[in-house]
Amino acid sequence: MIRFEQVTKVLGKKTVLDGIDFQVGEGETFVIVGLSGAGKSVTLKHMIQLMRPDSGRILIDGEELGNLSRSGLQRVRAKFGVLFQGAALLQWMSVRDNVALPLREHTKLPDEEIIRRVDEKLAMLNLDDAGDKFPSDISGGMQKRAGLARAIIMNPQIVLYDEPTSGLDPVTSRRIDDLIVNMREQLGITSVVVTHDLHSALAIGSRIMMLHEGRIVENATPEGFIRSKDPTVQSFLESQYITKKGKWEGMGHE
């Protein structure tokens, strides 16, 4: 569904992506982890051509992004929904109007149908009572859920999540994790998640890829990631108090 072939990106004098190769299959929750500056968000931006590679190819459903016309790129981008790090809600609009915005900008649906679809998504994300409120009136976790409602309002095939649990308390973070899993199970959505939170990555991911200094140092199932012998991966695991013992012991066994 998503394929990177020898993708390289240089920003200033820094090689942010250094010839990376990977693919994301339909229905996967593909998680990208790594330290700050490792190239995680840059990778995400390349998927919808907010950034272009200096070399290499990116294919979505077999179509190379670099070969598409403007209308072709718009068609491919319509397959994606995006949940930005800060939810990116418009503060002067109600939650309902924020979620409705893509439908009002990109469809000719009557307002009654737009409201019906919006309320359906709000109910799915347990935001039934938040539609008339403004972003400043709801919690950070509710804002993330509202951002997710907007991301899926056009029924995308793929949702990109940029640090979905950033700034949230542990309980709210786990609720966001559950929502990401539910999006896959209920709607069949393919998810690509960028996160610093390795506990989240292990809970939701079908595969976890770690970037370090622009290169892929691991790309494995959660179980394989825990067993990785790469010292960079092991250091990253230990920094978040994740070892093969205790809670994760079952993942550490062959």
* Segment 54-81, tens digit of pLDDT: 999 999 998 999 888 889 988 999 899 8
- DSSP structure string for the chain: -EEEEEEEEEETTEEEEEEEEEEE-TT-EEEEE-STTSSHHHHHHHHTTSS--SEEEEEETTEEGGG--HHHHHHHHTTEEEE-TTTT--TTS-HHHHHHHHHHHH----HHHHHHHHHHHHHHTT-TTTTTS-GGGS-HHHHHHHHHHHHHTT--SEEEEESTTTT--HHHHHHHHHHHHHHHHHH--EEEEE-S-HHHHHHH-SEEEEEETTEEEEEE-HHHHHH---HHHHHHHHHTT--SSGGGGGGG--
pLDDT at 91: 87
Average pLDDT value for residue range 138-162: 88
pLDDT of amino acid 252: 45
Q: Is the pLDDT of residue 183 over 50?
A: yes
Confidence band (pLDDT; 50, 70, 90) for 187?
Answer: confident
For residues 203-224, give the mean pLDDT: 94
pLDDT average, residue stretch 225-253: 72
Query: One-letter amino acid identity for 192?
Result: V
Average pLDDT, the chain: 87
Phi, psi at 167, each rounded to 5°: 80, 5
